Structures are given as C-alpha cells and as structure tokens.
Amino acid sequence: MNNYYLELFEGRKNIIILPHILPDGDTIGSSIALFYALKKLEKRVYIILNDKLPSNLKFLNANSKIITTEDFEKLSIKPDLIITVDSSDIDRLGDRAYLLDLCSEVLNIDHHSTNTNYGKYNLVNSKAAACGEIIYELLKKLKIYIDKDIATALYVALSTDTGSFKYSNTTPSTLRIAADLIEKDIDFSFINTELYQNKPINKIKLLSDVLNSLELHFDGKLAVIYVTNDMLKKNKIDISDTDGIIEYARDIEGVNIAVLLKEFSDNTIKVSLRSKYDFDVSIIAKKFGGGGHKKAAGCTIYDTIDNVKNILLNTFRENFR
C-alpha cells in the first residue's frame, strides 16, 4: 500500500462513506469501521445509504450511523472526500452516484478483481478476502487504534465475505487479522449469533418455496433457484433479507455452479452466481455488465425471469466444459 493514501485524510473535514447497494456484511462492517476510525481523527463522517439493512446487520447500526441521501441533503454539507467501499463500479452506488458530482476527491476502496478504478484514488487489492482487510491495513498505517467497536465491525466484514472463514479467499493474513480482532476483546459469540443464528422466521418460510423451485441442468452440474416477487409477498419478507439462500443450491453434491434469480420487479432480475471449483463466474457476470469474484459474482438483467434463465443457460452452455 503506497503511503500517499495517508495524506488523503489531512486537512479534510467532511467525509462521506458510500457502501454498495443491496448491502452485505463486508460493505457495512467496513464502512462502520471506517466511520469510527475517522471519528477518532475528529472528522465529520457520514455513511450514506438508502437501502434497508439485512436484519442480521442491524446490530452494527445502533445509534443510526447510516443516513439517507435525503437526511444528508438537509445538512447542506460539501464533502471534502468521498470513500466508496466494496463497489467494483459506479453502478454499485445506485441512486447515490450523483453524490460523486459534489466532490472529485474519490477514494475507491475495494477487493473485486473486476473493479474499474473509477476513483481519483484507487485502493484496490483483489487478494484481500474482504474490504475489511484493506481497511484494517489502512488503519494500521494511519496508526489509528483498533478499539472494540472497530474490531467488531471489521470482524463482521471478514467473517461474512469468507463464509465464516470457509471460502478459498481466506488466507493466512485473513486469519491473522481475525485473530488480532478477537484479541480486541470483541464479543465473538454474540457477533456470530447475531450474524448467523438470528434469521427471521419468514426467511425460513421463504426458503421452503425457494428450494421447491430448484432446477438442475447440465447433468446436475448447474443448479438454478428463484426468489420471485410472489414468494416475497406471500412470505412477507423484504428482498434485503435473501442473502445466503444461494448457498443451499451451491452446496448440493455434484453442483459446480449455482444461479439465483431474484425478481425485483417484472423485468428486473438480480442474478447471483456461485462457483465451487475452478469456473470463474465473474466472467459470466461481466458479460451482463456486472462483476464480482471468481467464486461469487452478480449482475442485473432486464428481462422476464424465464428469459433471463434461458439467456444464462445458453451462456453457460458455451463456456462450460
């Protein structure tokens, strides 16, 4: 990490942090860690996000550190620095992309290999398992003490993006950082219960419908599951609480690739892709304007859910060996 990033924080008072849309544990944990850390440098810090938080991350946002664009506009503040977190391209900022017009000083902190380096400053490391790792290193360089609150948020970032330290993105460095965070006296057991043993009952009911939608293709090597609008309505669950469902399809014996199609509206389908072995699903996601990592990627396709499935099956057929 080049040291010039350290000077970025000098003389800048108002700092905006932007997590990605449809937030997950890494983007929220990393943003909140950065929020606490920059507060220690006596900055005015605003995390701006209009999306709902998944219910298992709400414990991190006690005292509502996250505000909406509407709240922010009421403050009439001109930012001196904008930090995007875990967003491979500007589309991942959704309806907040206009905020980048307020200030050209943009620091893009990310770990996606598909990152487009859209910032004026790009702190992108695709070897990091989570943005939380990059932020941990940054705080060390800035000599900001990692207290219990920061450690808790960073631990959430690392744990969620590595599937609780199971996925192949987990490195010795990831585990060393996690060990250091645990030494900050974080409530390890509480955090894990909040994250993983705290699912809304309606999510479990939804799961039953989603599993019933399972289709296997290419001799059982590719699994497709669906979250339709009807399923969400029937089970009274918000789309923000559908994280992790794809894992049930990926974890089937013999399945190499899992596809989850989430219906946002009639012709807006959010596609999640997971790979278990060597197939790089980020290549497929990129073909449709999305991105991600080798084993976890996504994109949005504007068509009916059936057409999206067929388009994807054809694309996989061409690329599958």
Which residues contribute to the site for Mn ion (CB under 5 A)?
A: 24, 26-27, 86, 161
State the amino acid at position 196 in one-letter form.
Y
Single residue of 150, 225, 249, 296 touching ligand AMP by CB under 6 A? 296
Single residue of 293, 305, 309, 312 touching ligand AMP by CB under 6 A? 293
Distance from the first to the final alpha carbon of the chain: 38
In the complex, what is the shortest distance from the CB of residue 292 to ligand AMP, in angstroms, rounded to a whole number?
3
* Residue placing its CB nearer to Mn ion in the complex, 96 or 309: 96
Give dist(CA 104, CA 177) in Å, integer: 32
Six-digit token string for 215 = 């289709």
Residue 244: CB partners within 8 Å, gap ≥ 6? none
In the complex, what is the shortest distance from the CB of residue 66 to ligand AMP, in angstroms, rounded to a whole number?
18
**Angle between the N-to-C axes of helices 148-161 and 172-182, in degrees from 0 to 180, rounded to the nearest 10:** 150
Single residue of 298, 301, 308, 309 touching ligand AMP by CB under 6 A? 298
What residue is closest to ligand AMP based on CB? 298
* Residue placing its CB nearer to Mn ion in the complex, 160 or 235: 160
* Residue placing its CB nearer to ligand AMP in the complex, 162 or 272: 272
For the chain, helix, strand, coil in percent to 5 are 45, 20, 35
C-alpha 12: how far from chain center: 27
In the complex, what is the shortest distance from the CB of residue 143 to ligand AMP, in angstroms, rounded to a whole number?
30
In the complex, what is the shortest distance from the CB of residue 55 to Mn ion, in angstroms, rounded to a whole number?
17
Cβ–Cβ under 8 Å, residues 26 and 132: yes
Cβ–Cβ under 8 Å, residues 184 and 33: no
Chosen from ligand AMP, Mn ion, none, partner binding at 297 (C-beta under 5 to 8 Å by type)? ligand AMP
* Residue placing its CB nearer to ligand AMP in the complex, 14 or 300: 300
Check residue 96 for interaction with ligand AMP (CB under 6 A): no
Check residue 299 for interaction with ligand AMP (CB under 6 A): yes
Chosen from ligand AMP, Mn ion, none, partner binding at 92 (C-beta under 5 to 8 Å by type)? ligand AMP
Reduced to 3 states (helix: H, G, I; strand: E, B; else coil), residue 129 is coil
Residues numbered 239 to 278 that lie near ligand AMP (CB under 6 A) are: 272
Six-digit token string for 273 = 């892709």
Chosen from Mn ion, ligand AMP, none, partner binding at 133 (C-beta under 5 to 8 Å by type)? none
Strand ranges inside 68-120, DSSP E: 81-85, 106-110
* Residue placing its CB nearer to Mn ion in the complex, 19 or 79: 19
- Residues making up the chain, counted from first to last: 321
Check residue 92 for interaction with ligand AMP (CB under 6 A): yes
Residues numbered 143 to 202 that lie near ligand AMP (CB under 6 A) are: none
In the complex, what is the shortest distance from the CB of residue 158 to ligand AMP, in angstroms, rounded to a whole number?
14
Phi, psi of 198 (to 5 degrees): -150, 35
Check residue 25 for interaction with ligand AMP (CB under 6 A): no
Is residue 33 classed exposed, middle or buried when 0-12, 13-18 and 19+ CB atoms within 10 A define those classes?
A: buried
Is residue 81 classed exposed, middle or buried when 0-12, 13-18 and 19+ CB atoms within 10 A define those classes?
A: buried
Cβ–Cβ under 8 Å, residues 280 and 93: no
Chosen from ligand AMP, Mn ion, none, partner binding at 119 (C-beta under 5 to 8 Å by type)? none
What residue is closest to Mn ion based on CB? 26
- Residues lying near ligand AMP in the complex (CB under 6 A) are found at 88, 92, 112, 272, 290-293, 296-300
